[in-house]
Chains A and B, each alone.
Chain A
Amino acid sequence: MTFRQFLLQRLTAAAMVPLIVVHIVVIFIATRDGLSAAEILERTRGSVGWALFYGLFVVLAAAHGAIGVRNVLAEWTGLARSRLDIFMWVFGLSLFGLGMRAVVAVVGAS
C-alpha cells in the first residue's frame, strides 16, 4: 500500500463516520414510525439532498473498500503490484456502479 492509498483510506473512513450516523438514525426513525417501503421511496424520489448524500457515500465506500481489499490481497496472496492495482480498480468501479444503481433506484424518478 502506498502512503497515498493509506491516506486516502483513512480520510474516506473519517468522512464516512458522520454519513453512517445519519444513515442509521434515519433508518431508525423511519422504521420506528412504521413507514412502508413505498412511503419511504415517496419521500426520497426526486430529492437532490438524498442523491448527494448517498452518492457521496457510494464514492467514499468504493474507494475505501477497494484500497482495503487490495491491501488484504497484497498481504495474503503476494500478487504482483500491477495485478493488485488492476483488481483494485475493477473492484472499486464495480462497487461504485452497484452503489450508484442503488442510489438511482432510491432517489430517481419512479
Chain B
Amino acid sequence: MKRARFDHRLLPVALLIPQLTIIAIFFYWPAWNAVQSSFYLQDPFGFGSQFVGMENYTRLWNSSEYMRVARFTLVFTLLVTGFSLGLALLLAVKADKVIRGARTYRTLLMWVYAVAPPVAGLIGVALFDQNIGAITDLFAALGYDYRLGVSYTDTAFAMVVVSVWIQTPVNFIFFLSGLQSIPKPVLEAAKIDNPSGFRRFRDITFPLLAPTAFFLLIINITYALFDTFGIIDTLVKNNPASNPMTLVYKVFIDGFRGNDIGGSSAQSVVLMVLVLILTVFQFRLLERRIHYT
C-alpha cells in the first residue's frame, strides 16, 4: 500500500489539536487528578490533604462491602450482556424473516432506544414500586411478595430487567443490519445443502455475524458497567441501604454523597484499570480470531 505523504508538517498537527485538546481537558487532566488524589486523604472542603500512600486501595481490598459490590457488578454485567444480546439476536433473526409490515415491526422494536436511562429507571420505579407498581401487583397475584428496595434480589431483578429492556433495541438494530448484509447467495447455497434452519444459523449466519456480535459484546459490557448508572440511581432512590449497586455507582455514593474524595478516587482508578484491561483484551485477544470481511 502506498503511504500518504504530507508536505506540511504543521498542518496535521494543527488539525489534530482541537481533538487532542478535548481529550486532554476531559480525559487526561481529570484522570491524572483522580490518580493523584487516590493517594491522599482530604477533608471534604479541601482545606488540607495528607499523603496516605496505598491506604485508599488497601481499604477497598479489605472492605467486604466493596467486594460485595464488585461481585454484584460481575453478575449484573453477565446477566445484562447475556440477556440483551440473546434477546436482540432472537428478535433480529425473526424480524429479518418478516416480509409484510417489516418496517412497522422494526420501528416498534427500536423505539425504546430513545428512552434515556433515568427515564427508564423512573418507568421501572413506577412498575416495580411496592405500593403502586403494576408488576408488583402481578407478582402478588401470582403469590409472590415482591419488595423493591427491601429484598436484595428483587431490587437486582428490577435493575436487570430495566437495563436489558433499554439495551436490547440497540443490539437489535446492529444485529438486523448485520443479518441483512450477509450475501443472499451464501444463504441460498446453504439452504440447498442443509434444510435444518438451526444448523444453517449455527454454521453460516452466526459466524458471518461474529464481527457484529463481538463489537456488541464490548459495547454491552461497557453499557452494563457504566451507562446503567441512571437506572440504578432512580431505582435506589437516594437510599443505598442494602440495595445492590454497581462499582460506578459506589464511586458516586462514596465521593459525592459521602464526601470521601480520596476513597472515591481510588475506586475510579480501579475502574480505569478495568477498562484498560477490557480494551487490551478486545484488541489483542479477540480481534485476531474474528474475521471482518
* Bound pair (A, B): no
